[in-house]
Amino acid sequence: MPKASKQEPAKRGRGRPRKTTASSTTQKPRKRRSRKKDWPSLMAKVEESEIVDYDINGDFSETSAIRHKTFGVGVITKVLAENKIEVVFEENKKILAQNWEG
């Protein structure tokens, strides 16, 4: 039987170790800006009469807010395409369809 040879343990990790520089150790950590839109402040700008019931077939390009059966009232923040809108609801942000032809 051949003798088992001693081998160096496999290196763990990926690639080379990170280099540290004087500037990287003295820099202050960056503050992350919250990308989450503030629903209460967005809703404060919307009149109740501006809120439209959501329907997948509707065109909401000129609408500021919608009422969705599941998600509640949301503020439209972007028209992403002719058939997509970005809406901020109280709990989260969603991309919804509009102008659906199905």
Q: What residue ranges do the domains of the chain occupy?
A: 47-102
The yes-or-no verdict on residue 21 having pLDDT over 70 is no
Q: What is the pLDDT of residue 102?
A: 73
This prediction has a pTM of 0.64
If you average pLDDT over residues 33-59, what whole number do you get?
Answer: 87
**More confident: 37 or 93:** 93
Residues 6+ apart with CB under 8 A from 96: 54, 56, 66, 68, 84, 85, 87
Residue owning tokens 């970005």: 86
Beta bridge mates, 85 = 79, 96
How many other CB atoms sit within 10 Å of the CB of residue 59? 13
User: How far is 79 from 96, CA to CA, in rounded Å?
Assistant: 10
CB atoms within 10 A of CB 2: 4
